[in-house]
A and B are shown apart, each in its own frame.
Chain A
Amino acid sequence: MHWEVIWRYREVLWNGLIFTLQLSVLSIVGSLVVGVVMGCLGALPNFFLRKFVATYVEVLRNLPVVVKLFFLYFVVGLEAMPAAVIALVTHQSAYIADLVAAGLRAVPREQSEAAYACGHGQWQIYRHILLPQALRIVAPPMTSQFIEVVKNTSTAMLIGVEELTFQTQAIESETFRGFEAASTVTLMYLAMALAIAGGMGLLERRLRLR
């Protein structure tokens, strides 16, 4: 074992971590926003919106992230980072939209009807009654969606983003210390996943439905 390799390459790993975190945060926020908006649009009583959202979900869920990445990078010609973020957002937001729609459906219809009868408009009903409940209902499966984003950031190495997995490979090819590098990076991914799970757990406890 030559763990000193890790110490020697600490700066490289640190830079990789920063890229991974940037990709993760941007993509999680982006896919959450797009997913929630899509989920809400899909639940509105409008035939065309429903079809549009169903198509969005169906198409984007059935394409591998890497294919989206290559399409945006090589065909559309975006820079590497924007291509990676958009690929991750379109991919995960399709799952999140489906999840949010299921959460919205789980709220009894009487609540929105009572709100409508009290004079609330559609926007107020979503903002104050449906979404707060739907998001609480889907918080547990949302955790794995966020972790999925972090895992998928590693695909960005294929278009040259120097994130954690990219750096691991770089270290391996310079030093032939693949075992040490891969072990370290595995632990780093694990730590990020645990941090997300822990944070979401705290959030869930704060927001628990009474």
Chain B
Amino acid sequence: MLLEFTVNGVPHRVDTDPEQPLLWLLREQLQLTGTKFGCGMGLCGACTVHIDGAPMRSCTLPAVAAQGRVVTTIEGIGVANGELHPVQSAWLLMNVPQCGYCQSGQVMSAVALLNSNPKPSDDDIDNAMSGNLCRCGTYPRIRAAIHLAASEIQAVSYYDPREQGLDQERSS
């Protein structure tokens, strides 16, 4: 099938088997390799992307489900003029990543959480983030970084990469 959708602000038309999970289409056909493969069963969150702003596991999402949708990947988060999303700034300040393999997914889940809930409680963080595994055990820092980002987000105002149309500038 011919899939038409928007990725990080850029419209794409891609030929694919409708059943192919979005993860592999993004990684192999669009070369957006920031989204990772961890389990292929929706159990680890390494492959998390946003579909119309909602966090989804791209390893189990058939490509056809993205038809006409707006997809954001880690490459589309906070890169305008070298600026970071508040979640990424908080991640840097807290030195969150270790091996880093799970971190694209962690950042995507955290951005989605803060978009819908700018001041999450610990329970909210548990609910939103427990689907993202980290074998290196960066959890205490993820929790702290989300609280930190939440305090900055309130100061900096609401952020949505799609509204800002950030990625048009960098892709041609």
Question: Do chains A and B stick together as partners?
Answer: no
